[in-house]
């Protein structure tokens, strides 16, 4: 197994947490993963990106030029990274914020998901990342949802464990949406 995914959005959307969880879930399942955040002059609302590489053997490059999958949560990410996704790859587009429907490319699988609207429906605008992650994991099957839930529990401090059900619900909502759209 060799998989990689690039995630991008703006600060506050939980892009880095999403990457952390995925990489940690990969470790829980006994495989290897690297999580590499883009590192810059950080500010609220600024760009936030990370790359997760997963492998059953040694992880080689934590840096990927043409990712196999990309989760693009805001218009700027769509503009900058949509063309970089590998041909035959997968792109998740947060259609609540991104107007571009990705029709300029026919060589990638697309999932247009209204993640912000769905998050509000569940009851918290900050669940956008969990919805996107749930959809990606449903599509790619790179890790199990059990591992993802365990990772979430270990990453969140105990005092925040009351938010776990809501996060599980968001992961499941993303997964369900992906099943409906892409079968």
Partner 1 sequence: MTKRLFVKGNEAVAMGALEAGCRYYFGYPITPQSDVPEYIARHLPALGGQFIQAESEIASINMLLGAAACGARAMTSSSSPGISLKQEGISYMAGSECPGLIVNVCRSGPGLGGIDASQADYFQAVKGGGHGGYHIIVLAPDSVQEMYDLAMLAFDLSDRYRIPAMLLADAVIGQMKEGLVAHKYVPPADLAEKTWALTEKCNSGKRKVVKSLRLGDGEMEAHNNNLHARYAEMAQREVRYEGLHLDDAELVLTAFGSCARIAKTALRLAREQGMKVGMLRPVTLFPFPAAPLREHCATARKVLCFELNNGQMVDDVRLALPDKEVAFYGRAPGAGSLPTPEEFLAQIRTHYEA
Footprint on this chain of partner 1 (rule: CB under 8 A): 20, 23-24, 27, 30, 32-40, 58-66
Which phi and psi (to 5°) does residue 29 adopt? -80, 5
106 close to 82: Cβ distance less than 8 angstroms: no
Minimum distance from residue 183 beta carbon to partner 1 (Å) = 31
Minimum distance from residue 128 beta carbon to partner 1 (Å) = 22
Minimum distance from residue 71 beta carbon to partner 1 (Å) = 17
Distance (Å, whole) CA 159 – CA 38: 29
User: In this complex, which beta carbon is closest to partner 1, that of residue 52 or of residue 135?
Assistant: 52
User: In this complex, which beta carbon is closest to partner 1, that of residue 61 or of residue 146?
Assistant: 61
97 close to 144: Cβ distance less than 8 angstroms: no
User: In this complex, which beta carbon is closest to partner 1, that of residue 3 or of residue 115?
Assistant: 3
Q: Report the candidate in 111, 165, 113, 157 with the shortest Cα–Cα distance to residue 17.
A: 157
User: In this complex, which beta carbon is closest to partner 1, that of residue 21 or of residue 135?
Assistant: 21
Minimum distance from residue 17 beta carbon to partner 1 (Å) = 12
68 close to 5: Cβ distance less than 8 angstroms: yes
């Amino acid at each position: 197994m060799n998989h990689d995914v690039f995630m991008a959005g703006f600060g506050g959307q939980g892009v880095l947490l999403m990457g952390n969880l995925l990489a940690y879930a990969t470790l829980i399942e006994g495989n290897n993963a690297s999580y590499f955040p883009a590192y810059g002059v950080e500010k609220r609302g600024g760009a936030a990106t990370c790359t997760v590489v997963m492998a059953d053997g040694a992880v080689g490059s934590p840096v990927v030029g043409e990712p196999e999958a990309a989760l693009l949560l805001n218009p700027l990410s769509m503009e900058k990274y949509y063309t970089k996704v590998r041909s035959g790859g997968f792109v998740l587009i947060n259609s609540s914020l991104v107007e571009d429907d990705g029709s300029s490319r026919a060589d990638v699988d697309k999932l247009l998901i209204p993640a912000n609207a769905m998050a509000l429906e569940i009851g918290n605008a900050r669940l956008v990342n969990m919805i996107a992650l749930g959809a990606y994991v449903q599509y790619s099957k790179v890790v199990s949802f059990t591992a993802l839930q365990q990772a979430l529990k270990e990453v969140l401090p105990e005092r925040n464990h009351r938010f776990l059900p809501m996060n599980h619900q968001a992961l499941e909502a993303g997964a369900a949406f992906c099943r409906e759209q892409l079968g």
